[in-house]
Amino acid sequence: MSVFTPVSHSDARSLLEHYTLGELESLEGIAQGMENTNYFLTTTTGEYVLTLFEHIPAADLPFYVGLMDHLAHHEVTCPAPMRRDDGEMLSHLNGKAAVVVTRLPGAARPDPTPDDCRKVGEILAAMHVAGVEYDASLENPRGTAWRESFSAKIAPKLSREDNELIASENQYQAMHDDTVLPQGIIHGDLFHDNVLWDDEGEGGVIDFYFACDDVLLYDVALAVSDWCVNPDATLDRDRERAFLDGYHEFRPLEALEVDLWPAMLRRAALRTLLGRLGYNHYPRDSHMTIRKDHDFSRRLLEHFIAHARER
């Protein structure tokens, strides 16, 4: 959630002419995130988030916006897209596709407790279950093909040690057939800064723009590799257990999923490492982007590799 495309108050007022959301009161750019332009948009009827899509193919946007609308109507606390006066959820602003969604209350928790992890496990499982009834699909743009092609692209910018680590892990992941695992709609980026906690301690999920069809267990691993790790890039077993217990309440893992859990943790760490290397070596022209720590992701991958055989 960065600012790549500036939006003026005049721009926002023009956009609001197509909605029944009242008059503009304030507009504030959001620095967090890496992919889209985002603003807090406050009107006389409430608080919203305005997103301008910078890189997502136009053909994919109905999937993301429709998914939020679907989940918001299936008891998942997430931003609900606002409809224009013509009934559409997508708009255009300053040459970019755009959407206005409800702003969730609360804030992220940078140091989650085991109880937080249990609740997020429940939330993720609820999303996976609700996603079964969503009638759209989208192939993961950061799946196997992307991991391998991007590894080759970025190799000249990395050390020999980093390239050897990434190449070895890509080979390891190629040995595992994930088609035998339960598949469905995944969030794809359920890190701790994408859950906002309100005053009642209830969590709401934001930033669905990595959502796609993939292995459900992979989505669990992506979340655990952020929510349940220590500052020294090691896994906190108490928080991991709490997360998986919460998830189990809504969708118990199958035996094969349990067997492949260590491999999925490694895949999650590899995806995050490659993504953060990309953000740092191929920065985008943003006014407010916050950089990510790829060294931490590398050490976490090494940790998962070293301890995989202990499970």
In this predicted model, what pLDDT tens digit does every residue of 99-139 receive, in sequence order?
999 999 999 999 999 999 999 999 999 999 999 999 999 99
What is the domain partition of the chain in residue ranges?
Answer: 9-102, 114-310
The pLDDT of residue 42 is 98
Both structure tokens of 9: 């108050």
Q: What is the pLDDT of residues 2-45, one digit of tens each?
A: 678 999 999 999 999 999 999 999 999 997 656 899 999 999 99
Q: What φ, ψ does residue 156 adopt, rounded to 5°?
A: -60, -20
**Distance between CA atoms of residues 308 and 310, nearest Å:** 5
> What CATH class has 114-310?
alpha beta
pTM, two decimal places: 0.93
What's the chain's average pLDDT? 94
Query: DSSP characters for 74-87?
Result: TT---PPBPPPTTS
Other CB atoms within a 10 A radius of the CB of residue 106 amount to: 16
Beta-carbon contacts of 296 under 8 Å, excluding residues fewer than 6 positions away, are 233
The pLDDT of residue 310 is 56
Mean pLDDT lowest for which of 5-19, 57-71, 257-271, 280-294? Answer: 280-294
Q: Do the Cβ atoms of 157 and 282 come closer than 8 Å?
A: no
**Distance between CA atoms of residues 179 and 1, nearest Å:** 32
Both structure tokens of 243: 């997360």
The amino acid that residue 150 corresponds to is F
% of residues, the chain, pLDDT over 90? 89
Domain 9-102, what architecture? 2-Layer Sandwich (3.30)
- DSSP H or E stretch at residue 184: strand 183-186
